[in-house]
Structure 1
Amino acid sequence: MEKFTKLTGVAAPMPIVNVDTDMIIPKDYLKTIKRTGLGTGLFAEMRYNEDGSENPDFVLNRPAYRNAQILVAGGNFGCGSSREHAPWALLDFGIRCVISTSFADIFYNNCFKNGILPITVSQDDLDKLMDDAERGANATISIDLEAKEIRGPDGGVVKFDLDEFRRHCLLNGLDDIGLTMKKAPAISSFEQSYGQHHPWA
């Protein structure tokens, strides 16, 4: 998993509450178990017209936000079904961080397992960041995970809290497999010892 330390990029504003996982990646795109290629289906029902052409009014289709790496969204982001394809689609598109006032629990946990940083802020801070994001490519937002700070284009700073274990995992690029592999020597030692004392096993 790619490490997340600092990120500076364009933030796309999505002032919609209760964005569920079906909105993030519609069920038509769930036939694959690959993590790549899902970016084209991200927000497909809002992003494309019925004939398959792009909806020019959707935020990620606007020139200023086509390369957005940060999403500033309304509360209860990621609610609905527990599909892990949702963070896969965000990451495949290029979104590394989502900022909101609240997240659905399963989506929130899945973000950390896939290298995406979900940041919870107050409504007042979200309003400020939403205002920054609405400036488009002329204004970038910087996120420092080590310092737990979001810095706006005018130098304003928003502090955020994060569970230290999850922070450690993102800073070091550790998903569940990576955490297990760090214990490989202890696992190997146990297997050898167990085999010696239980040769019939």
Structure 2
Amino acid sequence: MAEGWGAMTGAGTQALLRGVRVIDAVMVRVVRPGTNRRPRARVVLYAHRHPFRAGTAIGTGLTALFLVCAVAAGVPLKPTDAPLLTAIWAGSTLIFALLTRWEGIAHAEHQEQHRPRPRPVSGRRIAAGLAGWWAAVTVLLWSEDKAKHRPADFVVTATVTATLTLALVVTVLGVGSVGERRRRKR
């Protein structure tokens, strides 16, 4: 009678393979790609954000299940089996982490293709935002001058604020165009 890990050959291996085929057939029927319209579960979202952690959890669980099955089958475990168990754990962790990562990337690409494009911000909205910012800063600077008993002229304060606003807009547009040019070069 063979001892160790080689004892699981023959009829046991065939039964295991049949079981895997049955589980695979059931999963293919239950989870058909493209027909699942429900929102993703929290576990799936966590796995997509942290694929290595999810792979580690699945790999650890799979290794523990493997050990339980081996002990239940009567396979004697020796200290020399530790490298093999470590390899099983590391391999399953890596495989599940990569599969989770690839599935997350595929799902993100699918979501990106079907996401509606954002509408560009209208010129009216930009003008209203700048006018509001200009008015608020003008009043703040003018009231600061009044509070410190400095000579405060509202027209001068409004002009200074308009100049600052114009400088801010030019800076933002300049930085944006440089970034856009760099993105186009790639």
TM-score, normalized by the shorter chain, greater than 0.5: no
Instruction: Tell me which of the two structures has the higher relative contact order, counting C-alpha pairs closer than 8 angstroms and 6 or more residues apart.
Output: 1
TM-score normalised by the chain length of structure 1: 0.20
Provide TM-score, normalisation by structure 2: 0.21
Flag the structure with larger Rg.
2
